[in-house]
């Protein structure tokens, strides 16, 4: 399908200076959200992630089992939204979390570079779904975006933007809109596999795109911050970006997620008021 022409229906991206000014404003606003209730919501929005070359059936089973046991060990804290793994481990996680409401998120489509045959991407995604994945995170083809092949990029897109590689507000906004045009249920900042991952600046641009797309279409698209989210304060900042730009109605686990590994322990520690290394 042709998507690029629809970009002309939307206002251009803010300048970097405007984005920086908005981030500074929201950083101040985020101080009101340094509290236990917000930290609990941020914890419940986590896609608990293990995407290591060292992952194995044994290690992923243990990882997922600990997440499943969290319901009993911390009944006063809402558990993470999902476990995010490579597609080969979808069935492994499914067995470990069976009987819980936890969702299974699989990366797919040639993660993290998206540089493989389209047929391979489609087959990998289909196999992950067949094995029980509830959600699929695939990566926008950054190379196509950088060379202006917007229709081609949109035709194979689902979630990840890799905002750190796109860099400018204009490209990040275009990538977000193209993803939504193509039917993505979420737009997500990063794979976490490059030097620049999630940034507040990229989050502001992406949330503005989500807001403007909703105003035109009435379809709500979620936002995921991933890569570089490490502390409870980081979580509260992204929570506040969503709150300020999209509104409180977006602050549900159906529309707001945090892709994280180390952040889980840090947010849990902030909630409990003591250092906890559960994962």
Q: Which residues pair with 257 in a beta bridge?
A: 224
Whether the CA torsion 10, 13, 18, 19 is positive or negative: it is: positive
Q: Any idea how long the chain is?
A: 279
CB atoms within 10 A of CB 137: 27
- How far is C-alpha 167 from the geometric centre of its chain's CA atoms? 17
CB 160 within 8 A of CB 138: yes
CB 213 within 8 A of CB 204: no
What is the rounded CA–CA span in Å between residue 223 and residue 247?
12
CB 36 within 8 A of CB 73: no
Q: Which residues pair with 260 in a beta bridge?
A: 48
What is the rounded CA–CA span in Å between residue 189 and residue 234?
14
Q: How far is CA 95 from CA 83, 92, 103, 235, in A?
A: 12, 5, 12, 29
Active site residue ranges? 137, 188, 224
Q: Which residues pair with 83 in a beta bridge?
A: 48, 104
CB 39 within 8 A of CB 74: no
């Amino acid at each position: 399908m042709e998507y690029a022409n629809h970009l002309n229906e939307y206002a251009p991206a803010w300048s970097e200076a405007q984005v920086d000014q908005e981030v500074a404003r929201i950083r101040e606003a985020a101080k009101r959200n340094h509290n236990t209730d917000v930290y609990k919501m941020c914890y419940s929005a986590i896609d608990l992630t293990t995407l290591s070359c060292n992952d194995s059936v044994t290690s992923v089973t243990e990882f997922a089992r600990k997440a499943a046991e969290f319901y009993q060990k911390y009944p006063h804290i809402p558990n993470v939204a999902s476990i995010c793994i490579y597609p080969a481990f979808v069935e492994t996680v499914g067995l470990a979390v069976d009987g819980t409401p936890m969702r299974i998120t699989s990366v797919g489509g040639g993660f993290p570079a998206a540089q493989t045959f389209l047929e391979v991407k489609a087959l990998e995604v289909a196999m992950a779904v067949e094995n029980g994945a509830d959600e699929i995170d695939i990566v926008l083809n950054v190379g196509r975006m950088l060379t202006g092949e917007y229709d081609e990029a949109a035709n194979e897109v689902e979630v990840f933007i890799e905002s750190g590689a796109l860099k400018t507000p204009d490209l990040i906004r275009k990538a977000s809109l193209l993803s939504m045009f193509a039917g993505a249920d979420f737009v997500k900042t990063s794979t976490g596999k490059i030097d620049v991952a999630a940034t507040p600046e990229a989050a502001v641009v992406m949330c503005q795109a989500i807001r403007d797309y909703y105003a035109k279409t009435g379809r709500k698209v979620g936002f995921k911050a991933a890569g570089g989210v490490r502390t409870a304060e980081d979580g509260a900042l992204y929570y506040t970006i969503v709150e300020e730009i999209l509104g409180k109605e977006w602050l549900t686990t159906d529309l707001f997620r945090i892709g994280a590994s180390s952040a889980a322990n840090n947010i849990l520690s902030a909630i409990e008021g003591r250092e906890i290394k559960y994962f």
